[in-house]
Structure 1
């Protein structure tokens, strides 16, 4: 059973700025899917020059999203890995105005990515065979029960979370998504 990663509330404007760049999101996704990489291997994979990638890698490192792997690095070539964290968005009332604006910007460009994943699932799910699973549900929960459900989900996600270099033979990167929202706009129903 995997150790549950440390919970990190993303309320720091510096961390939000670090996540607020689309190339940094692509770097994190690549490291999450393929494991450790150098700026050279990332350059080939992402189609960016190594100077640009080095800058963005330093921003991610300074804000605690990735780390250098000293035992793999040699000379000028540094290897990077994603730091396993349970990243949580704070509620709107916990953020100052600047942080809320940064979070809104991140959410705005992530929406298109999420919609494309949903479109891809519905378009290609037959091609993925047993790799494609979906579930939808409706229930009646209190706010406290939603929190309890979310924590149970995060525990389950942690239990099955594997980095590429710790994955079982035959494992593939798999996107997982979860969200809750009221079924109606009327708070009394």
Structure 2
């Protein structure tokens, strides 16, 4: 059953994502499922006080939530919120400080994507079908590119599962998509047409 997607475009979510440890927390929860600050501490090599602070920041931004069925005792169990479509706020809605956070987040994501591309290149032959990729070139209008992006998000939602719902034999799989003009002049021409 496909989950309803909730779009988040708030500067608070952007700020919450603009920290390397928070990204690691989200990746850990998304990969391994619910955890406490203690179990995250062991997995990430950080102290529980630091983790508790960052968990609260992620909770305030609506990116993680309590696990109600595991509530009780002193420690809270956390999980990533499923069905989120996190989008960057419009540039004009961001303060200069928020724009700086966006730049930092872009750099963190770029670093991760470059590392993933290296891992793909080095390991795809021995992956037994677990690494797949595609490259393409198409001539699209800006509207068609937006439609492609929206359909890609629908496809992701169709196949999106957390570790708690994962069927036997599944693994966490990192997926990436981005589209950009093939040349810098194409981007400049497109802006001139707008």
- TM-score, with length taken from structure 2: 0.91
Match of 1:17 in 2: 15
Deviates more, 1:81-90 or 1:167-176: 81-90
Give yes or no for contact 1:5–1:158 (8 Å, CA) kept in 2: yes
Alignment of 1:6-155 (within 5 A): 6-9=6-9, 11-12=10-11, 14-84=12-82, 85-155=84-154
Residues matched between the structures, number: 187
C-alpha displacement of 1:17: 2.0
Q: Where does structure 1 lack aligned partners over 5 or more consecutive residues?
A: none
Match of 2:180 in 1: 181
Separation of aligned partners in 2, 1:37 and 1:77: 10
Separation of aligned partners in 1, 2:96 and 2:51: 29
Does the residue aligned with 2:169 lie in a helix, a strand or coil?
coil
Give yes or no for contact 2:14–2:88 (8 Å, CA) kept in 1: no
Give yes or no for contact 1:69–1:80 (8 Å, CA) kept in 2: yes
C-alpha displacement of 1:99: 1.9
Separation of aligned partners in 1, 2:88 and 2:65: 22
C-alpha displacement of 1:34: 0.7
- TM-score, with length taken from structure 1: 0.93
Separation of aligned partners in 1, 2:37 and 2:43: 10
Does the residue aligned with 1:7 lie in a helix, a strand or coil?
strand
Deviates more, 1:141-150 or 1:84-93: 84-93
- RMSD over aligned CA atoms reads 1.5
Separation of aligned partners in 2, 1:29 and 1:95: 26
Cα 1:91–1:183 change in 2 (3 A) is: farther
Deviations 1:29-84 (A, max 9, x none): 00011111111110111011111111111111111110111320221111001012
Give yes or no for contact 2:13–2:61 (8 Å, CA) kept in 1: yes
Q: Where does structure 2 lack aligned partners over 5 or more consecutive residues?
A: none
Does the residue aligned with 2:129 lie in a helix, a strand or coil?
helix
